[in-house]
């Protein structure tokens, strides 16, 4: 897909957790242009992660959000298992 593709739909989430740095490191390699959607993850400060997802349509936004929210949730759960 062209990088000039207009993505009119956007969702932004911020997660505050003491595990933010570890979660960020585990999910950031997954951020890429996924065709109909684009996601980015930013470590705002030591305990805040920001997730931004843009998409060309609502279906693509929903699919990308499902993927990213699941990735962050699993990364958080694994940190809790590793470091109880």
Q: What is the CATH number of the domain that holds 62?
A: 3.30.310.50
Domain containing 56: what range?
9-82
What residues have CB less than 8 Å from 15, skipping those under 6 apart? 23, 48, 49, 50, 51, 72
Give residue 4's pLDDT. Answer: 58
Give residue 2's pLDDT. Answer: 44
Give residue 1's pLDDT. Answer: 41
Buried b (16+ CB within 10 A) or exposed e, 45-69: eeeebbbbbbbbeeebbebbbeebe
Blockwise average pLDDT, block size 10, the chain, 84 residues: 72 95 92 85 96 95 96 90 76
Within-domain flag for 2: no
Token digits of residue 29: 């390699």
Give residue 7's pLDDT. Answer: 85
Within-domain flag for 4: no
């Amino acid at each position: 897909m062209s990088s000039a593709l207009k993505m009119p739909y956007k969702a932004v989430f911020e997660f505050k957790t003491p595990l933010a740095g570890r979660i960020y490191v585990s999910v950031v390699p997954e951020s890429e242009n996924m065709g109909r959607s684009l996601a980015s993850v930013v470590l705002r400060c030591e305990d805040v992660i920001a997730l931004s997802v843009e998409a060309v349509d609502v279906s693509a936004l929903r699919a990308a959000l499902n993927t990213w929210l699941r990735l962050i949730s699993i990364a958080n759960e694994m940190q809790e298992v590793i470091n109880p």
